[in-house]
Amino acid sequence: MNAFRQLLQSSGSQPPIGSWVSSASPIVAEAMGLAGFDWGVVDMEHSPMDIMQVVHLLQAVGNTKMVGVVRVPWNDAVMVKRVLDAGATTVLFPFVQNADDAKRAVAATRYPPAGIRGMSGMSRGARFGTVANYLKTADAGIGVIVQLETPQALARLEEIAAVEGIDALFIGPADLSASMGHVGQFTHPEVMRAMSDAARRCKAVGKPLGTVGGTPDVVTQYRAMGYDYLAVASDIGLLMQGATGALHALRMSGGETHVHSLHSGTRTETSETAVPMKRP
């Protein structure tokens, strides 16, 4: 069974928690998996990753329990073919607007006669020819997630969800908020109402729905709406939060800095009062 489908089915009442992997670093990807995330998006849409980097990140994630999902840059059959040959088993398609877009996404992940994926028996996806009957059995192991990012897409949610081969839907709050006229206001009340309504409608048709939030507080709100799988921030976002938080804790306004020593405890110094370090 596809690993992402299995994750959704086994999660029970606790939605799986993931994050975005945008740094293009295998080391960081492996660290994110070892941190305990259930799933992670290897993001080709908004990062400098090429196919070989995707291979390296999938290899790194494979050393952890984190289920890898590759977001392709666009709903493009050639790119999807290469990503699947590189070893991706679940693909996230951005900007799916209607059922035809969804059907095209599914077709790109399926071998003929069900789809248009080009055949290769010696790819990494086929474990270099060591998987018995791979060309006949591969379709069943591929997961497809489609991303809805506009009011027009949300209006067609039910018809998109009904497309055979779609495993889950995903709402992108950033692009949705922009397309609703609230650029940068990801939690604007109108956006949150639209996202809540999408969760209700997905529950009605029995299709899993996921999203991403920048902070745990926002993700908690999505969980309360009934989202089935959730992501928080990204590797770079979490790095920047930690880095800026550490700097803020050590720097005061006006150039003041917290200084701690065993002899005098913690004190506040300015650039004028700080004692320069002596050279040995």
Residue 46 annotated as catalytic: yes
Residue 19 is predicted with a pLDDT of 98
Residue 52's pLDDT is what? 98
Q: Yes or no: is domain 3-269 CATH 3.20.20.60?
A: yes
- Residue 13 pLDDT: 86
Q: Is the peptide bond before 173 cis (omega within 30 degrees of 0)?
A: no
Q: Distances in Å between the alpha carbon of 34 and those of 27, 59, 144, 253? A: 11, 13, 25, 36
Judged against a pLDDT cut of 60, whether residue 272 lies above it is answered with: no
Query: If we measure between CA atoms, which residue out of 105, 89, 107 comes closest to residue 97?
Result: 105
User: Residue 241: its pLDDT value, please?
Assistant: 96
> What is the percent of the chain where pLDDT is above 70?
90
User: What is the residue extent of each domain of the chain?
Assistant: 3-269
The dihedral through the CA atoms of 120, 127, 104, 20 has a sign that is: negative
pLDDT cut 90: percent of the chain above it: 88
pLDDT tens per residue across span 227-264 = 999 999 999 999 999 999 999 999 866 666 666 556 66
Q: Distance (Å, rounded) from C-alpha 142 to C-alpha 144?
A: 7
Burial-class residue 42 by CB neighbours within 10 Å (0-12, 13-18, 19+): buried
Of the two residues 272 and 195, the one the predictor is more confident about is 195
| pLDDT for the residue 198 | 98
- The model's pLDDT over 26-62, given as tens digits with 9 standing for 90+, comes to 999 999 999 999 999 999 999 999 999 999 999 999 9
For the chain, the average pLDDT equals 93
The predicted-structure confidence for 158-179, as pLDDT tens digits, reads as follows: 999 999 999 999 999 999 999 9
* pLDDT score for 12: 86
Strand pairing partners for 69? Answer: 41
pLDDT at res. 256:
63
